[in-house]
Amino acid sequence: MTMLATAENSKRYLIVGLGLTGLSCARFCQQQGLNFALCDTREQFAGADAVRAEFPGTDLHLGSPESSFLCEFDEVLVSPGISAQTDNFIQAAGQGVVISGDIQLFREYAQKPVVAITGSNGKSTVTTLVNELINAAGFNAVAGGNLGTPALDLLNEEDVDFYVLELSSFQLETTADLAAEVAVILNISPDHMDRYSSMRDYERAKQRIFRSANKAVVNLDDDHTRPAMAAVKEFVTFGLNARADFGLINLDGEDWLAMESEPLLAASELKIRGSHNQANALAALALVSELGIDVKQCLNALKNFAGLAHRCQWVRELDGVNYFNDSKGTNTGSTEAAVKGLSAGLQGRIILLAGGEGKGQSFTGLGQTCAGVADVIAYGADSDIITAEMSPFCVVSQTDTLQQALLQARTQARPGDIILLSPACASFDQFKNYQHRGDVFCELVEDL
């Protein structure tokens, strides 16, 4: 990496958490010649020897850091998987230690405009799509953050015009001043309720994306996506209606994506399926437009965008039944969006496979969404909770494993139906991660 031009940095950093993000912080600090030490909260850290070899001479502390230790540093870079809302970090902050993360460090060194994207659902799809649309218009954009490449690694790229960042609420907690060129909260629904004390706290973390932003994009169908207290004076709207700046209009019985009521692209021409993906496409167009790019240059790229694996991904059709892999649906809001999107205009019925670790969510709203639209097969660690909370609204049956759920769904399905894996839960009871869960599902479907 080329040394980045910035004011001399004499801070002493502590990097807490040595997963993908923490190691990217360490490599950046080493490449920039910054003064830093390392900490992993695990007492027994299997990667300790490899870390010591990669960062020779750098102090490595194992175990949860006491506030007195944190106070030896000017700034503590906390990995997203570690909550900074614990006594040790709070006490250190009270003593003047800056508690931040990789995104704040990235912002201090990045010298090109940032497109910042968060939300409960659709972040990865919109981030990837915005990146492709910008590049289709002849610019050089790179994407990362919570998606794929850690943000600091993007600073290795040359001749960049725009950085496109997917940001989680955890990353935003430790980001004081993002100063994005344009920022968006795509939507807000319950997620990570095992980490946040209330929806208000979760929403407050998301709202940090607008701090010092030049422009904002707002979902007209979700008031919670508006910048708090008019933090951003200039914004455009998107939504599944004709009132939005980037909205959906109906011409001769067909829905069209439109910009200020000017038709751009028939919704039927999109390869990504469902009304939630129409909203994602409209959000992407709005973000690109706020960069001063003519969105009409991007329409072919939008039309040809096939979506991301594990996000309402079509797997196959068998005996008139279509199978979809939405393993990335790890919360009820995401699964509700998938059910609503795929049920629009569907002649048959959805058989929803839901289950895993529920993260303290309520499944009542999902049950109401499924009423009259979907039957549910619950599996996994929290299948009892799912069954109890959803069965007042829709038909719910229960199995132990995803494979059993799929086989039962196949016996229930009729031509014209959809079998949808959208678990509304974390995967760790039976799988390594949501990708592993989705891959297993696709393999099982292909073997039917």
Q: What is the pLDDT, as a whole number, of residue 184?
A: 97
> Strand, helix or coil at 408?
helix
> Two tokens at 23?
């190691």
pTM: 0.81
Q: What domains appear along the chain, each with residue ranges and CATH number? A: 12-100 (3.40.50.720), 105-304 (3.40.1190.10), 313-446 (3.90.190.20)
Q: Say how far apart CA 249 and CA 263 lie, in whole Å.
A: 8
pLDDT of residue 6: 55
Distance CA 258, CA 310 (A): 28
DSSP 446: H
To the query of whether residue 359 is one of the catalytic residues in this protein, the response is no
Task: Say how many residues make up the chain.
Answer: 448
DSSP symbols for 320-372: TEEEEE-TT--SHHHHHHHHHHHHTT-SS-EEEEEESB-TT---HHHHHHHTT
Report pLDDT for 116.
98
Q: How far apart are CA 126 and CA 219, in angstroms?
A: 13
Query: Considering 146, 187, 277, 331, which one is annotated as catalytic?
Result: 146
Structure token digits, residue 344: 């629009």
- Give residue 190's pLDDT: 65
The rounded distance, in Å, linking the Cα atoms of 105 and 181 is: 17
Contacts of 374 (CB under 8 A, 6+ apart): 339, 343, 349, 350, 351, 352, 394, 420
Distance (Å, whole) CA 76 – CA 13: 6
- Phi, psi at 368, each rounded to 5°: -65, -40
Q: Which pLDDT score, from 0 to 100, does residue 94 have?
A: 97
Give the model confidence (pLDDT) of 358-371 as tens digits. Answer: 989 999 999 999 99
282 contacts 238 by C-beta, under 8 angstroms:
yes
Determine the pLDDT at residue 82: 92
Give the C-alpha distances (Å, rounded to integers) separating 414 from 158, 318, 349, 351, 446. 53, 10, 8, 10, 18
Catalytic residue among 121, 131, 135, 192: 192
CB 350 within 8 A of CB 339: yes
For helices 123-136 and 275-289, angle between their N-to-C axes, nearest 10 degrees: 50
Specify the pLDDT at position 2.
47
Closest C-alpha among 81, 55, 71, 57 to residue 14: 71
* DSSP structure class, residue 310: T
The pLDDT, as a whole number, for residue 308 is 84
- 340 catalytic? Reply is no
* pLDDT mean for each 10 residues of the chain (448 residues): 61 96 97 97 93 96 96 97 92 97 96 96 94 97 94 96 96 93 91 68 89 94 83 86 95 94 94 88 98 96 89 90 94 91 88 95 96 97 97 97 98 96 96 96 96
How many Å is the Cα radius of gyration of the chain? Answer: 23
Name the residue among 169, 153, 161 with its Cα closest to residue 133: 161
Which DSSP symbol is given to 32? Answer: T
* pLDDT score at 298: 96
Q: Judge whether 233 counts as a catalytic residue.
A: no
Residue 258's alpha-carbon distances to 91, 201, 247, in angstroms, are 51, 34, 5
Helices (H), 184-268: 199-207
pLDDT of residue 38: 98
Catalytic residue among 123, 206, 310, 328: 123
Q: What is the pLDDT of residue 1?
A: 45
**Residue whose tokens read 């920039």:** 32
